[in-house]
Amino acid sequence: MSLPNMLQITPLLSAYRTGTLTPTNMVHDVIARIDSYTTQDPAVWISRVPAEKLLARAAELEKQAATDLPLYGIPFAVKDNIDVAGLPTTAGCPAFAYEPQESAEVVRRLEAAGAILIGKTNLDQFATGLVGMRSPYGQPHCVFNPEYVSGGSSSGSAVAVAAGLVSFALGTDTAGSGRVPAAFNNIVGLKPSRGVLSTYGLVPACESLDCISVFAGSTADAWEVEQIAAAPDARSPYSRALDVRPLPLTTFRFGVLKKEDQFFDGNAANAALYARAIHLLEQIGGTPVELDFAPLKETAALLYSGPFVVERLAAIKDFYNTHRQDMDPTVGAIIDGAKNYTATDVFEGIYRQHSLQQVAQRMWADFDIMLLPTAPRIVTKQEVMEQPIAANSLLGAYTNFVNLLDMAACAVPAGFAPDGLPFGVTFIAPAFTDKDLAVLAGRFHHALGEAVGLTRTDKPVSKEADTTAPNNRVLLAVVGAHLKGFPLHWQLEQEHAVLRNTTRTAPDYRLFALPNATPPKPGLVREQGFEGNGLEVEVYELDAAGFGRFVASVPQPMSIGRITLEDGKEVCGFLCSEAVARSGTDITETGGWRYYMQTR
């Protein structure tokens, strides 16, 4: 099989399942790609898993069926402030390096899902910066022009995805490090809600704000990785469960910058691309609403120009006290600034942060999401060398406030300027809206019509449109007790069902909590003329025999019929006798069974 330039997850899984690709083939191809790209940019990787270990991992996977694991044979990379057993963790500082005894929780979960770890990528030292220039291991460059920065601090991770070396990569995001590099390299950067991905095994930058983030070629891939990696973890101080909250997906309001707040540092082309992005999102169903950027700008200043810099010192205090001379000069100077603040200053900064969170919370009454530029413009390496602090501040103009205000964000490409350099926008919404935020950002990305990554030959894969199954396999949508984590999910597991995607029904369905059901379950009914927001369903793939056994076990008043999804495609799914369903409680407004059960 001839592999695509961008190693997106869905095509690779399809190739594994049809037998046209094996993990061993994939490993050989990835090694060759990395070796070739290293001649253009030798600064992407800090350490790599030896070839013999990669091939052994591939051989072990080949003992299992490709349908058994959701990330079977998918290659990925990890930013080198995240622990991987068997590889050193450097955080971009050789004097700091140590050998972890176990992998970070997110790495463990992804490998358990079948993914193949390729290596660890370069970063701005101690994840301090948005430029990708503060590393003794070299400076990865923008994949489109070596004179321009890759963006940081997750520089190597973004380049590894954009260059087609891995399917996805983990970064981290405190001030925008999971978003700015995505914009500068024409890929997706998904910044989860704080605490959703465990930070156990992460060298912190600001532990109260840090998020492990995901770079990928599409929002569908990024969300797939997030939901597999997400889990509460008592070892992670700020861990939270992914309490998924819906967003309106058919018609919605989106906050945009007023003309006087639009700052592109003189780059008229990026200003035009932002205007085009607003127009495109209107065509998808959005209504633009001007927002007040002043409280967001004030919040952003707290991170580097205020007392929150003290938390960066707290993260590496012992090392800083004994090895200050071994640090990058700019990184060291930033952390030196922590000495200018007192404990009183820190608490006053926290109080102001929480006051601004209240202001930001009220903003959501005016719109459902924000659409902002990811960065005003890309900068050259020469600019960073001449003005390292100013250049970094420029790149964080639209990103620094997001974690301080407890928001989720998804950065996507938004076109190219006439000089051939990319521009990106970021979708921002309240915490726990990660899934629907990725859906909306993905629709925008597809409507843009641009291919992703360096080669710009492969368009982003949409799992919303992925509603066809290979021969002898059936797609089944489940809406209630068979959802992942619910009492009857084991019936799907015993038939080796594979989760293909999480989506919604068409808007004309209602959901009812059935009376006297054990275990509790809902009934789905279609109502002609009803216009809701659709209901969450998980779509699973089963072989024909397994589907037959599953259907035979379905009790009355439930039945299996055809369900129309929000993209207009039909799959098999659970339906219920209308009379029985309507004898229960109408829970349509909750958005789905999972949300309803969380509020009981």
pLDDT tens column, 425-443:
999 999 999 999 999 999 9
Residue 191 a catalytic site member: no
| CATH fold label, 473-599 | Hypothetical upf0131 protein ytfp (3.10.490)
Looking at the predicted structure, is the pLDDT value of residue 358 above 60?
A: yes
Which one of the listed residues 154, 155, 167, 177 is annotated catalytic?
Answer: 177
Reported as a single tens digit per residue, the pLDDT across 165-202 is: 999 999 999 999 999 999 999 999 999 999 999 999 99
Which one of the listed residues 103, 135, 150, 153 is annotated catalytic?
Answer: 153
Measured distance CA(41)–CA(64) in Å, rounded: 36
Measured distance CA(135)–CA(154) in Å, rounded: 11
- Which residues of the chain are in CATH 1.20.58.1700 domains? 252-363
Residue 157 a catalytic site member: no
Residue 198 a catalytic site member: no
Choice among 22-26, 133-137, 312-316 with the minimum mean pLDDT: 312-316
Q: Which of 66, 43, 199 is nearest to 470 (CA)?
A: 66
Which one of the listed residues 47, 79, 120, 150 is annotated catalytic?
Answer: 79
First vs last C-alpha separation in the chain: 50
Neighbours of 457 (CB within 10 A): 12
Class of domain 252-363: mainly alpha
Whether the model clears a pTM of 0.95, i.e. scores above it, the answer is no
Query: Do the strands 116-121 and 75-79 form a parallel or antiparallel pair, or are they unpaired?
Result: parallel
Looking at the predicted structure, is the pLDDT value of residue 552 above 80?
A: no
Chain Cα centroid distance, residue 316: 27
**3 state SS of 421:** coil
Query: Per the structure block, which two tokens stand in for 449?
Result: 């019509």
Angle at 397 between CA 395 and CA 400, to 5 degrees: 95
Class of domain 9-246+370-448: alpha beta
Mean pLDDT value of segment 504-525: 92
pLDDT given at position 88: 98
- Which residues of the chain are in CATH 3.90.1300.10 domains? 9-246+370-448
Query: Do the strands 407-416 and 509-513 form a parallel or antiparallel pair, or are they unpaired?
Result: unpaired
